[in-house]
Structures are given as structure tokens and as C-alpha cells.
């Protein structure tokens, strides 16, 4: 009883606080689930860490998109909250095992889309500092590897400063905080794209791509744009799918470095990934970069919460203060140079560039 009440409170709060004003459908569905003892018992069939509303609602959405929960799909398409609430409960009770299986199998992916806006100038800066004419990208904790197309998207900063490919079908924008513009330099040619993840998503796999769509909420105010941008990102990624290496980054990184041609600078990127690593793993990750730099220069660009990326300065900011630090580390000739080149907010929707030229 106690556990069910707690779960009920979690769902009610999610509906009334997190979804309210953003997604009327998820508000209505989450509150309805919180009020249904049967639904809560079905959710309790999932392991505790997989019972959160974002996971269960994404799993239900996935089944709707897969054509396995037609009433729920129709209710979402019609933006009919009452019908969606009824259909969500019905689906959860009828297909408890399937909902739980999706929830257990998958990790939700947040959809803030400023990552490339953060990565582009920092990667270009890394290449400039090393004097590299070609780079190989290695994204660690890559999920679907969308960061690996950073050179193939168009980014607009502040009032219009462009970077990237202006003709790209994938377009991002990021507000600039402060008065320092991001460096205008283009990044050199990308000659290798390698994604590393415990469980990478393959954009050319229908189930994996559907899961990315399922993680979007069905009726957020800017859902049409978000949905269209995700489709454009998936289509762009599918034209040159990255090499995906599945496994623990600490184990897999040597193989990833080996995939970058000798005349290219390997640039490792991490965006909001290292908090999932134990402290010991973060240090071993750093050690792997150091080892790879015995034979060649190596760069690491990070966008991580304050104090999460080892060796990257925190600028005196408090941990968990809601923003992230953009780090740039260059390993070469037994020297490690690390710098915080910026701060960012909302996964890169706003950024402050700090580094001098």
C-alpha cells in the first residue's frame, strides 16, 4: 500500500507539475494513472528504477507508434485527453509485459537539441589549437550518435552568427549569454565518426528510431517542430551512419582510437554522459585518453555538469547549479592542457563562450 501511494504521488506530481502547461495529454494520462490502483500495480511489475512516468509514458508511446496500441495512438493523434487516459490504462493492463519489456530494454533520451551548438565551436577550437587538417570524432555515451553529425548541421548563434553547413536540413539555434561571440572558425574535414555506448541506438534500425520518436511527448507546444527536426536528424544520420561500438567506454576506447586515421586528430566528445560513470570509471576514461596520446595528439570536448568532467576546471561554480561547463582538453607530448571554454544551459540552448582567441 505504502509503495503504491508513493508511486501514485509520483505520477500525480508528474502530471500536475512536470507535464502541466506543457503536455495536456501527459498531464491527463499521468493523473489518471495515479488514480488507478490497477494501473499502479501494473507499473510496479517494472523494476523500481524503471517506474518513472517518463519511462512508462515513453514505453506506452512506443507501443502506440508501433501499431500495437491503436486506441492510444488514435487518442494521441486526436489530442483527446480523456480517451488517452482510458486507452493508456487499458494498454497498461492488457500489455503489462510488453510495457515493462520496453521500459527495461530502453533508456529515455532527453530531447533538448543544443548539443551541436555547444560542440561545434569547441571542436573547431581544438583542431585549431592542434593545427589539425582532419579530425575523427569519437562520441562517448553516444546514444543514437546524433552528435557525430555536428559538422553536417546548421547552427545559428545569438542574433545570427552562423556555423556549420548552412544548407543542412537540420538547423539549431543557441542564444548567447554575455558579449563574447563564439569563434567563427569552421572545423576541418571529419574523416571518421565513431559512437561508443553501453547500448547504442542505430538510426537505421526501425525499432531504435521509433524509440527516439517515442521519447518525444505527443503534444508539447513545439511538438511539430521537434518531431520534424528529429526526422531530419534521423534522415541525415542515415545517409552516413556512424560506426557504433557497444560496450563500456573504458574497454572500447582503444578500439575507437584505432578507427581514426593516423593523420587525423581524434576528438573525443562527451555530452551529459559522464555523470553515469562511477568516479573510478571517469578517471580510467581520462587515463585512456592519456594512453592514446602517447602516439598522437588527442582532444576531448565535454559538456557536463559542473565538476563532473575530471580535470576540467569548474570556474568556481557550485555543483548542481543547473548549468554545465564546456571543457576542452588537449593531450599531447605528455602534456595535458585543460580549459573551461564556456558555460551552457538547457543542454546548449544558451551558451556563454569564455575562451580567448
Binding-site ranges for ligand SAM (CB under 6 A)? 107, 109-110, 115, 141, 143, 196-199, 248-249, 271-273, 276-277, 281
Q: Nearest residue to ligand SAM, using CB?
A: 141
Residues 6+ apart with CB under 8 A from 113: 172, 226, 229, 347, 348, 349
- Residue 93 or 311: the one with the smaller Cβ distance to ligand SAM is 311
CB of 159 to ligand SAM, least distance (A): 26
CB of 95 to ligand SAM, least distance (A): 25
- Residue 77 or 198: the one with the smaller Cβ distance to ligand SAM is 198
- Residue 184 or 258: the one with the smaller Cβ distance to ligand SAM is 258
CA angle 147, 230, 159 (to 5 degrees): 75
Burial class (CB in 10 A: 0-12, 13-18, 19+), 159: exposed
- Residue 96 or 270: the one with the smaller Cβ distance to ligand SAM is 270
- Which backbone phi and psi does 23 adopt, to 5 degrees? -135, 95
Q: Which three cell numbers stand for residue 36?
A: 488507478
CB of 222 to ligand SAM, least distance (A): 18
CB of 112 to ligand SAM, least distance (A): 8
Q: Which three cell numbers stand for residue 342?
A: 564556456
Between CA 59 and CA 50 the distance in angstroms is 10
CA angle 71, 76, 79 (to 5 degrees): 125
- Residue 190 or 245: the one with the smaller Cβ distance to ligand SAM is 245
- Residue 61 or 347: the one with the smaller Cβ distance to ligand SAM is 347
Checking phi first, is residue 314 left (phi over 0); if not, alpha (psi -120 to 50) or beta?
alpha
- Residue 199 or 205: the one with the smaller Cβ distance to ligand SAM is 199
Checking phi first, is residue 216 left (phi over 0); if not, alpha (psi -120 to 50) or beta?
beta
Of 274, 331, 266, 337, which is closest to residue 303 (Cα–Cα)?
274
- Residue 251 or 263: the one with the smaller Cβ distance to ligand SAM is 251
CA angle 163, 169, 174 (to 5 degrees): 40
CB of 126 to ligand SAM, least distance (A): 18
Q: Where are the alpha helices (DSSP H) in 139-278?
A: 206-214, 223-239, 249-258
CB 63 within 8 A of CB 52: no
CB of 111 to ligand SAM, least distance (A): 9
CB of 324 to ligand SAM, least distance (A): 10
What angle do helix axes 279-292 and 249-258 make, rounded to 10 degrees?
Answer: 20
- Residue 156 or 281: the one with the smaller Cβ distance to ligand SAM is 281
CB of 229 to ligand SAM, least distance (A): 15
Q: Which three cell numbers stand for residue 329?
A: 582538453
Of 257, 253, 309, which is closest to residue 122 (Cα–Cα)?
309
CB 328 within 8 A of CB 343: no
Amino acid at each position: 500500500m505504502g509503495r503504491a501511494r508513493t508511486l501514485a504521488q509520483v505520477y500525480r506530481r508528474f502530471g500536475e507539475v512536470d507535464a502541466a502547461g506543457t503536455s495536456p495529454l501527459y498531464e491527463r494520462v499521468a493523473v489518471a494513472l495515479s488514480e488507478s490502483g490497477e494501473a499502479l500495480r501494473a507499473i510496479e511489475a517494472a523494476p523500481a528504477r524503471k517506474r518513472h512516468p517518463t519511462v512508462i509514458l515513453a514505453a506506452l508511446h512506443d507501443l502506440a507508434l508501433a501499431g500495437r496500441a491503436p486506441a492510444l495512438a488514435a487518442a494521441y493523434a486526436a489530442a483527446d485527453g480523456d480517451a488517452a487516459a482510458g486507452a493508456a490504462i487499458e494498454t497498461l493492463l492488457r500489455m503489462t509485459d510488453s510495457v515493462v519489456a520496453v521500459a527495461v530494454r530502453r533508456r529515455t533520451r532527453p530531447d533538448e537539441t543544443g548539443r551541436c551548438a555547444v560542440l561545434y565551436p569547441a571542436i573547431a577550437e581544438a583542431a585549431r589549437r592542434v593545427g589539425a587538417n582532419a579530425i575523427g570524432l569519437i562520441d562517448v555515451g553516444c546514444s543514437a550518435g546524433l552528435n557525430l553529425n555536428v559538422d553536417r548541421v546548421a547552427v545559428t548563434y545569438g542574433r545570427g552568427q552562423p556555423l556549420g553547413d548552412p544548407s543542412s536540413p537540420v538547423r539549431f539555434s543557441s542564444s548567447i549569454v554575455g558579449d563574447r561571440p563564439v569563434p567563427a572558425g569552421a572545423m576541418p574535414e571529419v574523416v571518421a565518426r565513431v559512437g561508443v555506448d553501453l547500448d547504442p541506438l542505430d538510426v537505421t534500425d526501425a525499432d531504435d528510431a521509433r524509440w527516439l520518436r517515442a521519447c518525444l511527448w505527443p503534444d508539447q507546444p513545439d511538438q511539430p517542430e521537434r518531431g520534424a527536426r528529429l526526422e531530419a536528424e534521423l534522415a541525415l544520420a542515415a545517409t552516413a551512419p556512424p560506426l557504433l561500438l557497444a560496450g563500456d567506454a573504458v574497454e572500447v576506447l582503444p578500439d575507437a582510437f584505432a578507427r581514426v586515421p593516423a593523420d587525423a586528430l581524434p576528438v573525443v566528445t562527451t555530452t551529459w554522459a559522464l555523470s553515469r560513470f562511477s568516479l573510478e570509471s571517469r578517471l580510467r576514461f581520462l587515463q585512456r585518453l592519456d594512453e592514446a596520446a602517447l602516439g598522437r595528439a588527442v582532444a576531448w570536448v565535454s559538456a557536463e555538469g559542473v565538476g563532473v568532467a575530471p580535470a576540467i576546471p569548474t570556474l568556481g561554480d557550485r555543483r548542481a547549479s543547473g548549468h554545465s561547463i564546456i571543457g576542452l582538453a588537449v593531450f599531447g607530448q605528455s602534456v595535458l592542457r585543460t580549459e573551461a571554454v564556456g558555460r551552457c544551459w538547457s543542454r546548449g540552448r544558451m551558451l556563454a563562450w569564455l575562451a580567448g582567441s
